[in-house]
Amino acid sequence: MTLEKRKKYGLVWNEERTKEKFETDAEGKLPVLVKIKSKEIETDSDKPTHILIEGDNYHALSVLNYTHEKAIDVIYIDPPYNTGNKDFHYNDTYVEKEDPYRHSKWLSFISKRLKLARNLLKDSGIVFISIDDNELAQLKLLCDDIFRENNFRNSIVVSRVKKNINERSFVKSLNLGHGTLFFYARSENSLLKIPTKYQQKAERWHAFDAPGIRNTMEYELFGQKPPKGRHWMFEEERAKEMMDNGLLRRNPKTGSPQYKLEASDVTLLDTNWTDIQEGDSNWKFENGEKNVEFIKRLLGMYPSNDCIVLDFFAGSGTTAEAVMELNKQDEGIRQCILVTNNENNICADFCYPRIQNVIQGYEYEGNEKNLLFEEELTINKLENAQEIYDIYQNLRRENKQLFDNVKGELKNNVLRLWGLKKTNGWKQGLGGNLKYYRTSFVPSETTDKNKELLTKQSIEMLCLRENTFEIVTEADDYKIFRNNNKYTGIIFDQLSIQKFKNEAIKFDKPISVYVFSLGDDDFSDEFSDMKDKVKVCSIPEAILRVYRRIFK
């Protein structure tokens, strides 16, 4: 069937010509996880255990389709933008700008992963995707198809570091001053908190009239009626209360009524994020680095601080740092799952050391930057320009002795004042725990031997599924793990069920039990006397059902 006949409306690309290397490399195999014990970090059992998976993200997402189906609250990804400048390679070859199948290769690559990722989102889950103009149009149509067009919520414009083109007289295109963030929901049940930004505003007075005609709001005030076609903002009784409380006055210059807006330090955000940089120019990272504060803003929009965050293009690990910083700020228990390959040692040299430093702390030297003042300058604020400037100067004087340098800047119409301190010493870690896994494989042929092998190799997947990592019992015929809220039992020999029960009956928390079976046996009768606290499942069939759907 021709491409044109395949779809009447939407995105169509040539998938047949763009098979990925991992699809042939993994033929006849099923992905599993191998624990890298030497890279585990444990500091506090009361804090979340974060997950780092090293490997192709398609294989990792396949595993997560079993361990975390409909369990993820927030997904954030920053995929390769397919600029043609060696930021995206396909089948071990960088995709050049002149490649006639450049867009098809990228779409095949990203669509496979987004389809797997959609299965992971809770009904209330949300997803954010950073992108630039190279694949923006294609990605929008693709996401409309995968996540459904009615679940598209916003396209957010985010400021980015601008290139200096002042020395050029002519250019082919304008400087790209923003990145784009697509925001999709899993369903109509997905809600978020309206984000705010710090913006110190002085006390100010605004005109008391508003457009439109309302008969109950056209009374005389300070000897005046509202201008033609306008009305006062509140009814007469409310206006009198405001005057009594000093919140309504006559404009000293024009005599028109004014109402008072109290000083504030936050303002609600829309989709135009000019106040924050998408990237972090302080990082010397080949493919760019996202700003921690930018990621924190995204994650902070989710209503709960007890949630699971997934980033399957983890890069240098910015999302993990953002999650841990947010947890510290609001005493949250967010858990982060990161997935990255180890191309150019990105996982070994960047991602893992960064997470380790954030958890355990590290020695540092440099400048500590403290934001003392921030105000977005607009035409409407010109009337209060002197007040804004006075606040700025007062803060500058007050903090001069507290910092090595107090520095002002005006960027993107935002006035900021920074306090700089030369520092060196020890940066206190945020605490927490990390489990490190690599993707591996077992044969996919459904023999009894391979089923037994898959079961033995699925221990880490089952612990990840249940979020139970602390070993309680490690016998040849069964293993027991726990966390603060529940237990997980994995039984390799059905003859050992009673032996397992003799130990498990003492537990005072719920128990998820996985029993090896060559078929798909129901073991509920064997645990009928413990049914109030036991949930039992036959393996590896439960895993194979998921894999048959993915690798059909």
**Mean pLDDT, rounded, of the chain:** 88
Q: Return the exposure string of 140-162: e unless at least 16 CB atoms fall within 10 Å of the residue's CB, then b.
A: bebbbebbeeebebeebbbbbee
What pLDDT, on the 0 to 100 scale, is given for residue 114? 98
Q: Six-digit token pair at 90?
A: 């396909």
The confidence score (pLDDT) of residue 54 equals 97
pTM, whole model, 2 decimals? 0.79
**What architecture does CATH give domain 3-190+276-363?**
3-Layer(aba) Sandwich (3.40)
Instruction: Answer yes or no: are the C-beta atoms of 80 and 44 closer than 8 Å.
Output: no
The pLDDT value given to residue 491:
98
First to last CA, the chain: 21
Structure tokens at 495: 């003859």
Mind giving me the DSSP string for 512-530?
EEEEE-SS----TGGGGGG
DSSP string, 88-151: -EETTEEPPTT-TTHHHHHHHHHHHHHHHHHTTEEEEEEEEEEE-TTTHHHHHHHHIIIIIGGG
Structure-block tokens of residue 245: 């409380």
Round to whole Å and give the CA distance between 347 and 36: 13
Domain ranges of the chain: 3-190+276-363, 204-261, 365-424, 445-550
- The answer to whether residues 211 and 192 touch, using CB atoms and an 8 Å cutoff, is no
Asked whether 104 and 13 are in contact (CB, 8 A), the reply is yes
Cis ω for the linkage preceding 443 (within 30 of 0): no
* H helical segments located in 458-540: 459-466, 497-504
Q: What angle do CA 289, 199, 305 make, to 5 degrees?
A: 60
Q: Is 260 exposed, middle or buried (0-12, 13-18, 19+ CB in 10 A)?
A: middle
Residue 215 CB neighbour total at 10 angstroms: 7
- What pLDDT score does 390 carry? 87
For the chain, the residue count is: 552
Each residue's pLDDT expressed in tens, for the chain with a length of 552 residues: 555 555 666 778 777 565 677 788 788 999 999 999 999 999 998 999 999 999 999 999 999 999 999 999 999 999 998 877 766 766 556 676 667 677 788 898 999 999 999 999 999 999 999 999 889 999 999 999 999 999 999 999 998 766 555 555 666 777 777 889 999 999 988 888 877 765 556 678 889 998 888 888 999 999 999 998 899 999 999 999 999 999 999 998 888 999 988 776 667 788 888 888 887 645 444 445 688 999 999 999 999 999 999 999 999 999 999 999 999 999 999 999 999 998 889 999 999 999 999 999 988 777 778 889 888 888 877 777 888 888 889 999 989 888 889 999 988 788 999 998 887 778 899 999 999 999 999 999 999 999 999 999 999 999 999 999 999 999 999 999 999 999 999 999 999 999 999 999 999 999 999 999 999 999 999 999 999 999 999 999 999 999 999 998
Angle at 49 between CA 43 and CA 55, to 5 degrees: 115
DSSP state for residue 163 in the 8-state scheme: P
Place of tokens 């450049």: 102
Give me 315's structure tokens. Answer: 């890069």
